[in-house]
């Protein structure tokens, strides 16, 4: 049987399979059947804790022989239930979390990250061993396996680009001719080759589409983190904003105008600034602005804060409390600390709760209609629904992110100045409908000018594949919106890559790359 280990099944692998299976009677089963978002749980036939490359190939072949659908989990943070797999096999990579110096298929030096590593594994391993980092996300329990292949961005991205801008190779278990094989796909493979396309597809094509990513290889010239950064955390009281509603409008106009003026590819001053404006629901108490600045002189950071407050009567206060893991907790308005400590401080993973998310890229400052929609929904009292952990987080974008062309990587949004993440969290299952309807209504109202979604190639530019949202359509619907909003003009190439490397659609979920007809 193909499910048994053989040299023929795994090609050049020189190791024996190492891993373990967790079935329904195992005390780990319930935990390993559920991800970070407590809305999602499933009843797989078993979970395979993949231990090495040979095990990944052997177990994928075993699943195929048994007619069981495979899904893949790195860190388990998928916002939708794409890993859920009733009756199938979850291939869990969480024990494969190595981060080390290595070589690519051409013998050149790389930094290798295994597919089960978390962001924190990546930051810790690269920083402590090599004094390097990648510009990835702030939520450090997120799995690198999914984060990277969706594009990946974080607080150093304005300075250093997206995570995938530093990627040179992916080692992927794909299914070719009905059999699992390992392919090492490199950015320097011949142009037009299937391997080159497979590499490219992992620079923003999203997880769970093409195979099991075992390893990511990054160029030796990945960024050196700044020795120190300044952090700033200030807040405006919702009570004050309710009394002076024009200040809310001024705040959003100032924020958008600043980023429009300072997000160019060759921005001379503020490439090292990353900001997160957290528009919380009024029940939370405060609207918060968190900023990281990588310069030694805090003057530009102070100038930025002054520009955001310009014309506001409501005075900001230092943010000194933490609610639901969303905000910082220290007394100084600006505080300098080592970069590694700041990265720990800004971790936004939060608690395991129920959650719903939406996203949007913005290429220009907010329109008046969008500002009005934010105000109408976030300042509204909603009886019987706890919205303290409902917010729109507006991240700064642009600068070196926008140095690439849309077709250079699979992630095509390369001229935005802001990226928005709509979030709501709760614990009581009975409040699911209330939270889902609230976030959906807010989102549709903000983008009412473009049909209720952040349409591409307008003042907005679609949505982020790593913040999946099934409200944008699913693969079993006719003409779903997500291929256009996530991938824009890159979708046809992703489809042809999918057809070559997964012609039977072994890897699929609600928002998969759809196999082309014919």
Model confidence pLDDT, tens digit, residues 378-436: 999 999 999 999 999 999 999 999 999 999 999 999 999 999 999 999 999 999 999 99
Which residue, 443, 435, 424, is CA-closest to 485? 443
What DSSP string describes 132-148? ------S-TTSBHHHHH
Structure tokens at 394: 């507006």
CA neighbor of 101 nearest in space, from 226, 227, 215, 225: 215
Strands 212-218 and 286-293: unpaired
User: 114-134 pLDDT, tens per residue?
Assistant: 999 999 999 999 999 999 999
At 247, the pLDDT band (50, 70, 90 cuts) reads very high
pLDDT at 320: 53
| pLDDT of 207 above 70 | yes
**Sign (positive/negative) of CA torsion 254, 406, 271, 443?**
positive
Work out the percent of the chain whose per-residue pLDDT is above 90: 91
Closest listed residue to residue 96, CA positions, set 272, 232, 215, 234 = 215
507 Cβ neighbours under 8 A, 6+ residues apart: 70, 71, 72, 175, 208, 209, 210, 211
Contact (CB, 8 A) for 99 and 51: no
What kind and span of H or E run contains 422?
Answer: strand 418-426
- pLDDT tier at 14 (50, 70, 90 boundaries)? low
Contact in structure between 300 and 323 (CB atoms under 8 Å): no
Q: How far is CA 295 from CA 89, 231, 331, 357, 443, in A?
A: 48, 11, 21, 33, 36
Residue 367's SS3 state is: coil
170 forms beta bridges with 185, 216
| Of 140 and 282, more confident | 282
d(CA 377, CA 424): 13
Q: Is the pLDDT of residue 3 over 60?
A: no
pLDDT at 6 over 60: no
Average pLDDT over residues 304-318: 95
Question: What is the gyration radius of the CA atoms in the chain, in angstroms?
Answer: 23
How many CA atoms are closer than 13 Å to the CA of 383, on its beta-carbon side? 0
Say if residue 213's pLDDT is above 50.
yes
Cβ neighbours for 216, distance < 8 A, ≥ 6 positions apart: 112, 113, 115, 144, 148, 167, 169, 170, 202
Distances in whole angstroms, Cα of residue 419 to Cα of each of 88, 131, 160, 197, 458? 35, 29, 16, 27, 14
In degrees and rounded to multiples of 5, residue 355 shows phi and psi of -155, 160
Decide if pLDDT at 9 tops 70: no
Closest to 145 in 3D by CA, of 99, 110, 113: 113
Residue among 32, 259, 21, 64 nearest 173 (CA)? 64
Give yes or no for residue 256 having a pLDDT over 70.
yes
Residue with tokens 């080390």: 100
Q: Which of 137-141, 238-242, 251-255, 326-330 has the least mean pLDDT?
A: 326-330
Which structure tokens are listed for 13?
């692998």
457 has pLDDT over 60: yes
Maximum pairwise Cα distance, the chain: 74
- 354 bridge partner residues: 426
- What is the arithmetic mean of pLDDT over 59-73? 97
Calculate the CA 130 to chain-centre distance.
Answer: 25
**Which residue, 162, 167, 392, 413, is CA-closest to 287?**
392
Read off the pTM. 0.95
Neighbour count for residue 245 (Cβ, 10 Å): 12
Res. 162 pLDDT band, cuts 50 70 90: very high
């Amino acid at each position: 049987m193909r499910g048994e280990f053989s040299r023929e099944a795994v090609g050049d692998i020189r190791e024996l399979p190492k891993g373990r299976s967790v079935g329904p009677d195992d005390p780990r089963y319930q935990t390993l059947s559920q991800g970070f978002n407590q809305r999602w749980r499933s009843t797989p036939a078993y979970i395979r804790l993949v231990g090495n490359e040979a095990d990944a190939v052997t177990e994928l072949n075993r699943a195929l022989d048994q007619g069981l659908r495979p899904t893949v989990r790195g860190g388990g943070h998928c916002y939708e239930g794409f890993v859920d797999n009733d009756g199938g096999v979850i291939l869990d990579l969480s024990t494969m979390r190595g981060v080390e110096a290595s070589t690519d298929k051409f013998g050149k030096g790389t930094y290798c990250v295994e597919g089960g590593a978390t962001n924190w594994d990546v930051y810790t391993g690269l920083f402590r061993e090599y004094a390097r980092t990648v510009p990835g996300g702030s939520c450090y329990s997120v799995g690198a396996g999914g984060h990277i292949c969706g594009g990946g961005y974080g607080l150093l991205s304005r300075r250093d680009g997206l995570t995938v801008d530093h990627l040179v190779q992916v080692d992927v278990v794909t299914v070719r001719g009905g059999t699992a094989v390992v392919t090492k796909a490199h950015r320097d493979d011949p142009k037009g080759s299937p391997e080159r396309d497979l590499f490219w597809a992992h620079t923003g094509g999203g997880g769970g589409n093409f195979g099991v990513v075992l390893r990511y290889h990054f160029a030796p010239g990945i960024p050196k983190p700044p020795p120190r950064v300044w952090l700033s955390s200030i807040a405006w009281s919702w009570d004050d904003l309710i009394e002076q509603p024009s200040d809310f409008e001024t705040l959003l106009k100032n924020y958008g105008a600043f980023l429009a003026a300072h997000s160019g590819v060759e921005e001379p001053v503020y490439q090292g600034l990353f900001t997160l404006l957290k528009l919380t629901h009024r029940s939370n108490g405060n609207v918060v602005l968190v900023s990281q600045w990588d310069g030694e002189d805090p003057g530009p950071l102070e100038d930025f804060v002054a520009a955001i407050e310009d014309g506001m009567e409501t005075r900001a206060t230092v943010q000194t409390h933490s609610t639901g893991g969303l905000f910082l907790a220290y007394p100084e308005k600006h505080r300098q600390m080592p970069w590694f400590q700041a990265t720990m401080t800004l971790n936004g993973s939060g608690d395991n709760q129920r959650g719903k998310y939406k996203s949007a890229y913005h290429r220009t400052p907010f329109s008046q209609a969008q500002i009005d929609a934010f105000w109408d929904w976030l300042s509204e009292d909603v009886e019987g629904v706890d919205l303290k952990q409902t917010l729109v987080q507006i991240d700064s974008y642009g600068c070196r992110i926008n140095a690439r062309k849309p077709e250079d990587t699979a992630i095509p949004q390369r001229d935005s100045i802001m990226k928005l993440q709509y979030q709501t969290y709760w614990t009581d299952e009975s409040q699911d409908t209330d939270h889902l309807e609230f976030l959906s209504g807010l989102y549709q109202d903000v983008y009412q000018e473009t049909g209720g979604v952040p349409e591409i190639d307008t003042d907005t530019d679609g949505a982020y594949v790593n913040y999946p949202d099934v409200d944008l359509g699913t693969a079993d619907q006719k003409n779903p919106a997500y291929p256009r909003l996530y991938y824009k003009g890159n979708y046809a190439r992703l489809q042809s890559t999918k057809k070559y490397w997964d012609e039977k659609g072994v890897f699929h979920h609600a928002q998969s790359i759809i196999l082309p007809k014919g």
